[in-house]
């Protein structure tokens, strides 16, 4: 066990980087600070790979990889019964997360040296990136739920700093605030959940909790709260915390706005790391959910499925490329939640757990690739709007190919990585209930459609006018793209089930041919439909649609009527009747509720201001009334009305 | 008479000697020697603080009039540390033209209030307690009105003394009723006489108002924003931390030791005042523009969190309350250290004046951010742990509704603390407060407080020590 002590440096290095850059960064040249951050993170990444290698090549105990705790020191004794520890927990999912986080973070560090070149506050940016990476790594390595909560909050703070990096931009400031406040509200649930869970079980340790010892949980099962057992309530509250970070409905409102931050930050935070913290949390406590609150787990599956559908529908009508990606992220995290929610324990029952983790892994890679690609595009055309793009494939060859690979992966086309993980999720959904399976397959098709709509509108279609000819990004930016694209091509062939599974035993991934073929056919149909609609660059604005109608009318072919039906269904029914109201509901009702909360707090404060008049006689009056009320309150048992 | 009784009053005697020495020094020293008044006072006080850390026994003196135990000494040490930091902060202000000639007075008055608080803490009798309370209150009014040529300061002093007199009057009325009903004023004997009849409950209700006033819980808080705003910033710091800490702890010991028989009543009172304080003060804080007033409301709501520790009546509650006081002291004084140095250098005190502060004074902004994050209870700063412990202590005794109200309020408080952080880091300003270097006293104060904010949450042995000397009902 001692050989793993070096894992401590995985946490120390980014922290050191943050301290050096945070305190002394402003004296450094920007290039030096960028290099320093990247080199230290490179070392962290190597250590993470070494950890993964040593961990996964170590002999198995009873067929499963042993949990290791290279560090676990007592930190605080609380009231004799509870104890907080600080430590490092290595198990298959935390080691996998180490690899994901350090890889994506390293790519973002390198990429940012090109993308953020010449920005004001470059050193500050790198300091924040290091802080974020440190917090995220600390979150996944936590040995107990309390330590996780500490890092969880630190992740929130550092993402607040990163989203609001362009502090002169009011939208960015508003977005960072929104992200922080919405997730804080969710964390409130998390904290209460932790309090309940630890109060009844007397421990914070994941190790003890996940052993699912009935003696430990007997109190929590017997006690009831509002008709549910305390354990269900606590686990549901903990999930709310996860739902906030992972942008599950109805807490997803912060994520699209958070796109105001620098694009590499979106790749790091909003694709690969912070947003999957909620998935990680559920996976970490999965045995507890599975044993004591299967109902909550099913609830998670339904929330995930609904969010997934909802976000996919919105993604079809967005025109800002980063927002399309944001909604697609929400939708894909929904897939992971569904996978965990439908999963059981044990080899075949546990497909969902394995699939969720597998999808987390592959999605992190290809979604980071998509965001970094989007960054390269924005870098080239200085706009986020699709209408300012089109025909970019000639100007940005590397970005084009890598982006296409990522689109194929997310759409679930073999042999790219997304196919394998998504297929396992679909298989798990079908074995849960056919309806769930069909719904998730449909959403997968929708995913393929909107991703290719995005792809064609950026790289094909009519080129728009540019002041300067768009040019390919510098090597600092393209190298991370190529690296991630290679990973996306090969990651599907990793025998993931050998490393991560619900019970730790080897799980053989076998493709279910019916599910696989159906999903590929659905994806291909969706891509074909998107190709036909967007490849030619017949612009989709309503007035241009009208002229298209005239042209097609003279063509006098049967295809015309089918086209119209298709267009009617997509434009009038799916887009106008479903997506727009959903978007409206999101904008007005869900956002409005959150805004209303802050507005009413302000309003009440304004109304009661008159009480504080500065008049000392009035103070004495209030004082006296207060005293009488206090006395009356104390005497209330003697007062009968 | 047994003179060995006086040996038990070691810390009071040490403080009185210190006061006399400083008084004589101020009176007879030549002009040159007076230049060293500030360092000499600080060093002597630091020695006094260190003396208190020496171990000692537990017991009573003067027939139970005076009691001492380990937790009392520990709280006195907390007050000492707070006072020491306030002394460090005062150097800038005391050097200015209008105050330099009454520097000695500032120290003498501050130490007098501290002596009063010592008496309150060690009292074993209601009369002793009342003398302590008045000794702490009357010089405090002089301190608030210290800049007497400034209208706001004089007005703040007048408001304080009027409100304090009013509170003392009600409290004294309560004490006289207690005496009438129980027939004794000794803390050791009163509990046996508490039967819970309506007269005693009414007496208790009047009595407790005096302390609720001192820790400024709603609805006895209205003097606080005016006095905090008008008083010299250093005095405000002292008022909001040291004075409040002593009041909170004395209230807790009285509730535990003397009024244990009226637990249902005082739990109801605390429940109502805590819920009101946290909520009302939060709502007011949102709209404040003046930073001192803003911190006044913030400290009213913090007082609510502090008393959350006491409501359960357990040893756990006492531990969490004392720990909270310690953390609150460092966090709040760090914020006041920044405010007072900025006020001294630029004369600016509004939140909007701090726009763009990070560009010119990055280190001070970071300290301020740490302080505010700690007050808001964001991990990993110490304030998170102290909040967590008081919540846990209240949950332990099943005050779920109250904890829920408090939790909701932490989210609201986060909003207004962040407003200040946002002003410093994000809001643009064409003419931000000019960059300046702090003097060594302020720098030392900033280092001590920042270290406290960062280390206290992690240093578990402090919490464990408090836990080992706490007691429940």
Hey, what are A347's tokens? 């080899």
Provide the ipTM.
0.81
Q: Nearest CA to CA, how far is B396 from chain A (Å)? A: 8
* B395 with A625: Cβ contact below 8 A: no
CB contact residues (below 8 A), chain B span 62-121, against chain A: none
B418 touches A: beta carbon within 8 Å: yes
Which residues, other chains included, contact A104 with Cβ-Cβ below 8 Å and sequence gap of 6+?
A267, A268, A271, A272, A273, A364, A365, A368
- Give residue A63's pLDDT: 73
Between the alpha carbon of residue A100 and those of residues A90, A314, A408, the distances in Å are 14, 28, 20
Nearest to B395 among A26, A195, A611 (CB): A195
Q: Is the pLDDT of residue A381 over 50?
A: yes
Residue A563, pLDDT > 60, answer no
Among A90-94, A195-199, B371-375, name the most confident range: B371-375
Work out the number of other CB atoms within 10 angstroms of the CB of residue B336: 27
* A68-78 and A224-225 beta bridge pairing: unpaired
Chosen from B163, B204, B205 to mutate, greatest number of chain A CBs within 10 A? B205
Per-residue DSSP letter, A589: I
Q: How many other CB atoms are found less than 10 A from the CB of residue A471?
A: 10
CA distance A231 to A288: 9
Q: Are B171 and B206 a contacting pair, CB within 8 Å?
A: yes
Q: Assess contact for A534 and A461: CB atoms under 8 A.
A: yes
Assess B425–A contact: CB distance below 8 Å, yes or no: yes
Nearest by CB to residue A76, choosing from B269, B411, B460, is B460
**CB atoms B219 and A157 under 8 Å:** no
Put simply, whether A168 touches B (Cβ < 8 Å) is yes
More confident residue, B181 or A616: B181
- Look at residue A554 and tell me whether its pLDDT is greater than 50: no
Are B458 and B329 within 8 A, CB to CB? no
- Please answer whether residues A279 and A204 qualify as being in contact, where contact means their C-beta atoms are separated by less than 8 angstroms: no
Quick one: tokens of A570?
């997509």
Determine the angle formed by the axes of helices A351-381 and A321-342, rounding to 10 degrees: 170
Identify the three-state secondary structure at position A595. helix
- Whether the pLDDT of residue A559 is over 50: the answer is no
Q: Answer whether the bond into residue B233 is a cis peptide, omega within 30°.
A: no
- What is the pLDDT at residue A313? 78
Q: What is the DSSP letter of A88?
A: E
Query: Contacts of residue B222 in chain A, CB cutoff 8 Å?
Result: 611-612, 619, 622-623
In chain A, % helix, strand, coil (3-state, to 5) comes to: 75, 5, 20
pLDDT digits (tens, 9 = 90+) for A107-149: 999 988 888 887 777 888 888 889 899 999 999 998 888 888 8
Q: Using the beta-carbon criterion (under 8 Å), do B411 and A76 form an inter-chain contact?
A: no
For the segment A360-377, the average pLDDT, to the nearest whole number, is 90
**Interface subset of B 155-214, CB within 8 angstroms of A:** 158-159, 162-163, 166-167, 170, 198, 201-202, 204-206, 208-209, 212-213
Q: In a 10 Å sphere around its CB, with 0-12 CB exposed, 13-18 middle and 19+ buried, how is residue B203 labelled?
A: buried
- Which residues 51-80 of A have a C-beta within 8 angstroms of B? 74-79
Which residues of chain A neighbour B210 with C-beta distances below 8 Å? none
Which of A166-170, A463-467, B319-323 has the least mean pLDDT?
A463-467
Assign A389 to helix, strand or coil.
Answer: coil
Do the Cβ atoms of A634 and B265 come within 8 Å?
yes
| Confidence category of residue A545, pLDDT binned at 50, 70, 90 | very low
Do residue A623 and residue B391 have CB atoms under 8 angstroms apart? Answer: no
Spatial separation of the C-alpha atoms in residues A140 and A88, rounded to whole Å: 9
Given a contact cutoff of 8 angstroms between Cβ atoms, the answer to whether A20 and A14 are in contact is no
Residue of A nearest to B210 (CA): A627
- In this prediction, residue B141 carries a pLDDT of 92
pLDDT at A19 over 90: no
Q: How many CB pairs under 8 A join A and B?
A: 145
Kindly state whether A598 is in contact with chain B, defined as any CB-CB distance less than 8 angstroms. Answer: yes
Q: What is the pLDDT of residue A62?
A: 74
- How distant is the alpha carbon of residue A182 from its chain centre? 14
Spatial contact of B440 and B95, defined as CB atoms under 8 Å apart: no
Q: Do A631 and B415 touch (CB under 8 A)?
A: no
| Spatial separation of the C-alpha atoms in residues B455 and B331, rounded to whole Å | 12
Q: What long-range pairs does B153-157 form, CB within 8 A, spacing at least 24?
A: B153/B230, B153/B231, B153/B232, B154/B230, B155/B226, B155/B230, B156/B226, B156/B227, B156/B228, B156/B229, B156/B230, B156/B231, B157/B227, B157/B230, B157/B231
CA atoms within 13 A on the CB side of B445: 35
Q: What is the pLDDT of residue A196?
A: 83
- Say if residue A567's pLDDT is above 50: no
Contacts of A77 in chain B (CB under 8 A): 460, 464, 467
Rg, chain A, Cα only: 26
Query: Using CB atoms, which residue from A154, A195, A612 is nearest to B284?
Result: A612
pLDDT for res B147: 86
A-chain residues within 8 Å CB-CB of B362?
A: 26
Distance CA B83, CA B49 (A): 10
Least confident of A466-475, A570-579, B33-42, B383-392: A570-579
The band of A494, judged by pLDDT with boundaries at 50, 70 and 90, is confident
Of residues A529 and A562, the one with the higher pLDDT is A529
Q: Would you place residue A549 in the very low, low, confident or very high pLDDT band (cuts 50, 70, 90)?
A: very low
Provide mean pLDDT across the span A438-466.
83
Q: What DSSP character marks residue A538?
A: -
Tell the burial category of A552 from Cβ atoms under 10 Å away from its Cβ (0-12, 13-18, 19+): middle
User: Of A74, A608, A626, which is closest to B220 when you measure between CB atoms?
Assistant: A626
- Given this model, what pLDDT does residue B249 score? 94
Percent of chain A residues past pLDDT 70, beyond the cut: 84
Q: What local confidence, expressed as pLDDT, does residue B471 receive? A: 87
Among B226, B362, B460, the residue with its CB nearest the CB of A77 is B460
Distance CA A162, CA A128 (A): 6
Radius of gyration, CA atoms only, chain B: 21
Q: Which residues of A94-119 are buried (b: 16+ CB within 10 A; e: fewer)?
A: bbbbbbbbbbbbbbbbbbbbbbbeee
Of A110 and A583, the structure prediction assigns the larger pLDDT to A110
The 8-class DSSP code of residue A383 comes to: -
Residue B163 and residue A181: Cβ atoms within 8 Å?
no
| Predicted pLDDT at A605 | 64
pLDDT tens-place string over residues B69-80? 888 889 999 999
The whole-number pLDDT of residue A88 equals 86
Q: What is the mean pLDDT of chain A?
A: 79
Q: Which residues of B touch A168 (CB under 8 A)?
A: 428
Q: Which residues of chain B have pLDDT under 70?
A: 1-2, 55
* Pairwise CA distance, residues B121 & B459, whole Å: 26
- Interface subset of B 363-382, CB within 8 angstroms of A: 373, 378-380
Best of A163, A626, A635 to substitute, by most chain B Cβ atoms within 10 angstroms, is A626
CB neighbours of B68 closer than 8 A, spacing ≥ 6? B8, B56, B58, B59, B60, B61, B122
Element (H, E) at B271: helix B263-286
Q: Using the beta-carbon criterion (under 8 Å), do B158 and A604 form an inter-chain contact?
A: no
- Residue bearing tokens 């209230």: B251
Q: What is the pLDDT of residue A467?
A: 61
Q: Inspect the interface and report whether the beta carbons of A79 and B286 lie closer than 8 Å.
A: no
Q: Does A26 touch chain B (CB under 8 A)?
A: yes
Strand partners, A72: A87
- B409: closest CA of chain A, how far (Å): 11
What's the pLDDT at A537? 59
Res A119: pLDDT: 78
Cα distances (Å, whole numbers) of residue A538 to A456, A544, A548, B423: 11, 8, 8, 48
């Amino acid at each position: 066990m001692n050989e793993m002590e070096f894992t401590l440096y995985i946490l120390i290095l980014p922290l050191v980087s943050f301290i050096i850059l945070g305190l002394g960064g402003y004296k450094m040249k920007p290039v030096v600070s960028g290099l320093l951050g990247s080199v230290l993170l490179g070392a962290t990444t190597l250590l993470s790979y070494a950890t993964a290698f040593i961990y996964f090549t170590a002999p198995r105990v009873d067929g499963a990889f042993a949990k290791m705790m290279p560090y676990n020191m007592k930190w605080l004794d609380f009231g004799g019964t509870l104890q907080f520890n600080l430590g490092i927990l290595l198990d298959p999912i935390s080691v996998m997360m180490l690899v994901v986080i350090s890889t994506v973070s390293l790519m973002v560090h390198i990429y940012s040296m090109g993308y953020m070149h010449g920005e004001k506050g470059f050193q500050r940016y790198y300091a924040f990136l290091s802080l974020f990476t440190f917090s995220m790594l600390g979150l996944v390595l936590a040995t107990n739920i309390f330590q996780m909560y500490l890092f969880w909050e630190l992740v929130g703070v550092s993402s607040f700093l990163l989203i609001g990096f362009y502090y002169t931009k009011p939208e960015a400031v508003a977005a960072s605030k929104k992200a922080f406040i919405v997730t804080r509200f969710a964390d409130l649930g998390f904290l209460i959940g932790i309090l309940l869970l630890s109060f009844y079980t007397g421990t914070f340790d994941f190790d003890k909790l996940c052993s699912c010892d009935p003696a430990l949980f007997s109190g929590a099962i017997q006690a009831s709260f509002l008709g549910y057992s305390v354990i269900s309530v606590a686990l549901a509250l903990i999930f709310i915390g996860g739902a906030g970070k992972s942008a599950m409905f109805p807490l997803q409102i912060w994520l699209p706005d958070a796109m105001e931050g620098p694009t590499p930050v979106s790749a790091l935070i909003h694709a690969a790391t912070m947003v999957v913290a909620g998935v990680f949390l559920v996976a970490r406590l999965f045995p507890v959910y599975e044993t004591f609150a299967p109902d909550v787990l099913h609830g998670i599956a339904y929330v995930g499925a609904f969010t997934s559908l909802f976000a996919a529908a919105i993604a079809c009508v967005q025109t800002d490329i980063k927002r399309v990606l944001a909604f697609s992220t929400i939708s894909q995290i929904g897939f992971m939640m569904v996978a965990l929610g439908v999963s059981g324990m044990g080899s075949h029952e546990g497909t969902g757990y394995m699939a969720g983790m597998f999808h987390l892994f592959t999605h992190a890679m290809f979604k980071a690739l998509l965001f970094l690609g989007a960054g390269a595009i924005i870098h080239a055309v200085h706009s986020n709007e699709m209408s300012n793009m089109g025909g970019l494939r000639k100007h940005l060859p590397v970005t084009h190919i890598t982006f296409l690979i990522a689109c194929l992966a997310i759409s679930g086309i073999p042999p790219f990585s997304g196919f394998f993980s998504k297929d396992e999720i679909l298989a798990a959904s079908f074995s849960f209930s056919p309806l769930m399976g069909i719904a998730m397959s449909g959403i997968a098709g929708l995913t393929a459609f909107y991703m290719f709509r995005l792809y064609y509108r950026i790289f094909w279609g009519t080129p728009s006018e540019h002041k300067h000819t768009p040019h390919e990004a510098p090597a600092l930016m393209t190298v991370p793209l190529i690296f991630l694209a290679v990973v996306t091509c090969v990651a599907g062939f990793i025998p993931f089930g050998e490393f991560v599974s619900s019970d730790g035993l080897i799980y053989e991934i076998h493709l279910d041919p019916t599910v696989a073929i159906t999903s590929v056919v659905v994806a291909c149909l969706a891509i074909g439909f998107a190709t036909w609609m967007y490849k030619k660059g017949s612009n989709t604005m309503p007035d241009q649609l009208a002229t298209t109608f005239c042209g097609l009318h003279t063509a006098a072919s049967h295809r015309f009527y089918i086209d119209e039906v298709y267009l009617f269904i997509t434009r009038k029914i799916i887009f106008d009747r479903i997506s727009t109201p959903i978007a409206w509901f999101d904008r007005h009702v869900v956002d409005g509720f959150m805004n209303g909360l802050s507005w009413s707090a302000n309003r009440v404060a304004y109304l009661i201001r008159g009480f504080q008049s500065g008049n000392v006689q009035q103070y004495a009056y209030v004082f006296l009334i207060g005293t009488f009320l206090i006395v009356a309150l104390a005497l209330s048992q003697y007062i009968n009305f | 008479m047994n003179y060995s009784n006086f040996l038990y009053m070691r810390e009071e005697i040490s403080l009185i000697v210190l006061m006399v020495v400083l008084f004589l020094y101020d009176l007879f020293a030549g002009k040159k020697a007076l230049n060293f008044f500030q360092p000499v006072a600080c060093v002597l006080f630091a020695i006094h603080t260190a003396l208190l850390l020496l171990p000692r026994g537990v017991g009573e003196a003067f027939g139970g009039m005076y009691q001492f135990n380990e937790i009392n000494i520990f709280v006195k040490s907390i007050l000492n540390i707070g006072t020491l930091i306030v002394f460090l902060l005062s150097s800038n202000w005391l050097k200015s033209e209008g105050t330099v000639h009454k520097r000695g007075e500032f120290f003498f008055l501050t130490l007098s209030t501290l002596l009063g608080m010592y008496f309150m803490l060690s009292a074993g009798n209601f009369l002793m307690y009342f003398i302590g309370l008045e000794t702490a209150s009357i010089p405090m009014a002089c301190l608030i009105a210290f800049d007497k040529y400034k209208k706001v300061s004089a007005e703040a002093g007048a408001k304080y003394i009027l409100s304090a007199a009013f509170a003392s009057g009600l409290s004294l009325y309560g004490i006289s009723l207690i005496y009438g009903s129980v027939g004794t004023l000794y803390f050791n004997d009163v509990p046996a006489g508490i039967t819970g009849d309506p007269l005693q409950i009414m007496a208790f209700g009047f009595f407790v108002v005096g302390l609720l006033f001192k820790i400024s819980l709603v609805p006895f808080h209205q003097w606080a924003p005016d006095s905090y705003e008008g008083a010299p910033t250093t005095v405000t710091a002292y008022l909001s931390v040291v004075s409040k800490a002593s009041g909170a702890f004395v209230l807790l010991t009285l509730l535990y030791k003397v009024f244990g028989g009226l637990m249902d009543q005082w739990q109801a009172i605390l429940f109502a005042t805590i819920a009101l304080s946290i909520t009302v003060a939060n709502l007011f804080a949102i709209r404040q523009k003046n930073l001192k007033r803003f911190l006044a409301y913030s400290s009213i709501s913090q007082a609510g969190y502090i008393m959350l520790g006491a409501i359960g009546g357990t040893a756990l509650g006492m531990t969490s309350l004392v720990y909270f006081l310690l953390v609150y002291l460092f966090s709040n004084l760090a914020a006041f250290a920044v405010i007072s140095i900025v006020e001294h250098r630029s004369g600016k005190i509004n939140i909007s004046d701090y726009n763009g502060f990070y560009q010119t004074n990055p280190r001070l902004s970071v300290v301020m951010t740490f302080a505010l994050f700690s007050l808001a209870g964001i991990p990993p700063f110490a304030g998170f742990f102290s909040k967590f412990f008081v919540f846990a202590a209240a949950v332990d005794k099943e005050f779920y509704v109250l904890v829920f109200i408090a939790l909701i309020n932490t989210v609201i408080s986060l909003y207004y603390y962040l407003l200040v952080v946002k002003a410093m880091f994000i809001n643009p300003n064409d003419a931000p407060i000019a960059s300046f270097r702090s003097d060594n006293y302020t720098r030392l104060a900033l280092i001590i407080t920042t270290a406290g904010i960062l280390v206290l949450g992690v240093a578990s042995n402090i919490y464990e020590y408090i836990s080992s000397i706490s007691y429940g009902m």
